[in-house]
Amino acid sequence: MGQCIDALTSAYLDFSSGAAVTRRRSDTLVPSGESVYGLKTMDGIAPGLGVGAVRINSDIVTWPKVGSSYRRVKVPAAPGSRYTGLILVFSTETGEPLAIMPDGVIQRMRVGATSALGTDYLAKKEATTATIIGSGWQAGTQLTGLLAVRPEIDTIRVFSPNRRNVKAFCAEWGGKLSQELCSVGSVAEAANGADIVLCATSSIDPVFEPKHFEKGMHVGSIKPPEISRSCLDLADKVCVHLGQGKPALIQADNLAVPDHSGDRGWQISDAFDFSSCTTLPDLISGVTNGRTNADERTCFVNDLGLGLQFAVVAGVTLQLAESAGIGRVLPTELFTQIEHP
């Protein structure tokens, strides 16, 4: 996590100076039986690491309703009950492919590291109590990212409507950390008196409301819908990842999916002007200030993931794999050609 945070910090500084570049995420959707097939791509170039990368997801997606909220859930429909997500890494010196790797762990690490940077600039330095809303795959790196930038945190509350998952999460991470992890029964109980609240759910409906938003609190989300519009209006300072708001969307005629229609999911990006907010590169480069007093209510909204993140974290992963002798060497000639493309 520390390596990811450091590498992303450098990349955001390069982005601010115009050296690093990234492209808006693109989602293309068509029906697939009772589900939806989605092809998602994003790319970016990290000159400091000498790599460009493309992330490609080939997904079967559903939107089940759990309680009163809808969730976006990918189905492991590939043979062997597996998911399909790839990162292709290329050399900026020769153009050749350097690596192909799955995106699951890397996307988790880049989200955790990005949230950690938002927390570092916007949360109180003296914070001691934190809350994680969610107990799934993303929640783990929200936790490790948080402790990388606020190691003095001593109490961590965890809430999720899935009680079994919460207990398993607290048992797993409680055995790895010196901090106390405790499961709680509601968002209200989890947020009461917390200095930092980090949302890490699959919900496309808000999970954090103004009644939970106390003076001096920092709240972070891994995607826009988790924090209600009213909370964003109440905040003294809202910082976003890059202000792109939502992905470029291309979908089949007459296809309507919950997080691209109605008043939930990505639609919050139309209701709130993320493009006018402070961005994470602005904070890191010093263009704007982070928290300025202990009473401010602050938000970090990971409005949209970046291809640049994947270039950075995959580039670091490639360096670590090469130094450890991990991975399979494939002939470059399989992926290059003599014909002019």
147, 119 in Cβ contact below 8 A? Answer: no
Q: Are residues 244 and 259 in the same domain?
A: yes
Q: For residue 189, what is the domain's CATH number?
A: 3.40.50.720
The predicted-structure confidence for 314-338, as pLDDT tens digits, reads as follows 999 999 999 999 999 999 999 999 9
Looking at residue 314, the DSSP 8-state letter turns out to be: H
SS3 242: coil
Q: Are residues 41 and 86 in the same domain?
A: yes
Q: What is the DSSP string of 205-227?
A: S--B-GGG--TT-EEEESSGGGB
What is the distance between the alpha carbons of residues 224 and 239, in angstroms, rounded to a whole number? 11
pLDDT bin (cut points 50, 70, 90) of residue 266 is confident
Nearest to 191, CA basis, from 131, 231, 234? 131
Would you say residue 340 lies in a domain? no
The predicted-structure confidence for 77-93, as pLDDT tens digits, reads as follows 999 999 999 999 999 99
Query: Could you tell me which residues come within 8 angstroms of residue 244 by beta carbon, excluding any fewer than 6 positions away?
Result: 24, 25, 274, 303, 304
44, 23 in Cβ contact below 8 A? Answer: yes
Q: Are strands 51-62 and 85-91 parallel, antiparallel or unpaired?
A: antiparallel
Q: Are residues 194 and 322 in the same domain?
A: no
Q: Are residues 213 and 65 in the same domain?
A: no
Domains identified in the chain, total number? 2
pLDDT at 259: 85
Would you say residue 145 lies in a domain? yes
SS3 282: helix
What is the distance between the alpha carbons of residues 195 and 209, in angstroms, rounded to a whole number? 16
Q: Are residues 32 and 132 in the same domain?
A: no
pLDDT bin (cut points 50, 70, 90) of residue 148 is very high
SS3 248: strand
pTM: 0.94
What is the distance between the alpha carbons of residues 255 and 242, in angstroms, rounded to a whole number? 28
Query: Could you tell me which residues come within 8 angstroms of residue 273 by beta carbon, excluding any fewer than 6 positions away?
Result: none
Q: Which domain covers residue 258, as residue numbers?
A: 111-301
Q: Are residues 58 and 130 in the same domain?
A: no
Give the whole-number percent of the chain exceeding pLDDT 70: 100
Q: Are residues 97 and 160 in the same domain?
A: no
Q: Are residues 121 and 100 in the same domain?
A: no
Q: Are residues 117 and 94 in the same domain?
A: no
Cα 78–chain centre separation? 24
What are the backbone angles phi and psi of residue 292, rounded to the nearest 5°?
A: -115, -15
Cα 305-310-76 angle, rounded to 5 deg:
75
Q: For residue 316, what is the domain's CATH number?
A: 3.30.1780.10
